[in-house]
Amino acid sequence: MNQSSTDTAPAIMGPLSVNYAALQNLTPELFATLTKLKLSVVIVQFAGVNLDHPAMKCGEIARKLGQQLEQAGAGFFDASAHLATGHWHFFHCGNVAKAIPALKAGLERRGLLAHSEILTAESPTDLLTWHPPTAKKLSLAE
């Protein structure tokens, strides 16, 4: 994978809200706990979500994708954050090699693959993009 470009992800900590709970997935403490449990954080992100965005027409998309992961024995849905820059859906996965294809298939079946990014948290501050295939590393540090 090409990891040559580094972008800065959106600021994730803000006022206490439902987003705060979801974004705990990227705190060092929870990340360390998930690592001990041999779970990876996998994120499906939809950028620029507005009322006309295709993801808005697929109600409960994160829960549906989570059910697919559970059926595949690859992981489960944890939480969603709805930020100004887009929607981030967090999944905890014990088998990333099974999770990524399952998520891609679920998104494609719903016509959402072209509108999404699939990322994994390599650390609490670094995200690696798996889809689209032009993988890049995002840094949350700064």
Residues 72-126: tens digit of each pLDDT:
999 999 999 888 778 899 999 999 999 999 999 999 999 999 999 999 988 888 8
Neighbours of 35 (CB within 10 A): 14
Q: What is the pTM of this model?
A: 0.80
Q: Which amino acid is at 73?
A: G
Virtual CA dihedral for 3, 6, 12, 14, nearest 10 degrees? 170
Determine the Cα–Cα distance for residues 120 and 92; give it in Å rounded to an integer.
10
Domains of the chain: 6-139 (3.30.70)
pLDDT single digits (tens) 124-135: 888 888 888 765
